[in-house]
Structure 1
Amino acid sequence: MRQIMAAAESSPLTTHVLNTGDGVPAARMALSLHQLDSKQMIWNMMSVGTTNEDGRCPGLISRQAFTPGMYKLRFETGSYWETLGQTCFYPYVEVVFTISDPDQRFHIPLLMSRFSYSTYRGS
């Protein structure tokens, strides 16, 4: 596992978290990237990080480490809302997705409020 650095290399996988309830980026939200070991059926943590002031977390994974397989991004939404003095319905959000062509770029935004969330594959 590696810790994400602010000035990390360009990642083939990016995310952007938006607090749609307040209309602002979700800054300082903890998140982690995991890959499924398909033989043992366990998730291996690849990296951890925190969103910046723009709600982005650069450097999630290097091009070399990005291989075909199943991944998940886990967003610590409960802790984020707690820091704002609020409660939420979802203590965390996990977005699971499959990568078949790691040469492409993948963008996975998370749009969230205290009681809902949505995601999609962006570009």
Structure 2
Amino acid sequence: MTPLRMTFAALGLSAFSSLALAAGNPLSVHVLNLENGLPSPGINVTLERHVGQNWQPLAQGTTNEQGRIAELFPANKPFEAGEYRVVFKTGEYFEKTKHETFFPEIPVIFKVEQTDQHYHIPLLLSPYGFSTYRGS
């Protein structure tokens, strides 16, 4: 299977399995390493909410062996409309895997308008580039 086909297959499985994994939590993330087509375990991720002029820390987690955090939003807080930021600590991950990277961290800022929906943020990662989108 070509690397491109592996990537598309992984993305398809990601979308399907994320629904089952995050049924009770409004926010999940997934990191896939585009260099080798594999999940990226061990990436530290923080979640913050924009309040006034500042970012308020809400939660943190580490991606599992599948490169996922299925429940990133804290269970004891209401999911409110507003701006949020997920920060992927990619520099730490690449240092552990003995790779150089141009991006020591990747912040993804997103807006929540419909609090009854699930928000899934996949990160497609390589040492010198990345892509992200709103999954479901």
TM-score with structure 2 setting the length: 0.79
Any stretches of 5+ residues in structure 1 without a counterpart? 1-7
* 1:47 match: 59
Structure 1 residues 64 and 99: CA distance shift in structure 2, 3 A: same
Structure 1 residue matching 2:95: 3-state secondary structure: helix
Alpha-carbon offset, residue 65 of structure 1? 2.4
Instruction: Say which structure, 1 or 2, has more relative contact order (CA 8 Å, 6+ apart).
Output: 1
- Per-residue Cα deviation, 1:64-121 (whole angstroms, up to 9, x for no partner): 5211000010000010000001110001000000001111111110001000000001
* 1:121 match: 134
Correspondence 1:26-45 to 2 at 5 A? 26-37=40-51, 39=52, 41-45=53-57
Identity across the alignment (%): 39
Higher strand content, 1 or 2: 1
Q: Which runs of 4+ in 1 moved over 2 A?
A: 62-65
Any stretches of 5+ residues in structure 2 without a counterpart? 1-21
Alpha-carbon offset, residue 60 of structure 1? 0.8
Structure 2 residue matching 1:95: 3-state secondary structure: strand
Structure 1 residue matching 2:92: 3-state secondary structure: helix
* 1:22 match: 36
TM-score with structure 1 setting the length: 0.87
CA RMSD of aligned residues (A): 1.6
> Of residues 91, 94, 108 in structure 2, which corresponds to 1:78?
91
Structure 1 residue matching 2:93: 3-state secondary structure: helix
Which amino acid is 2:92 matched to?
S
* 2:111 match: 98
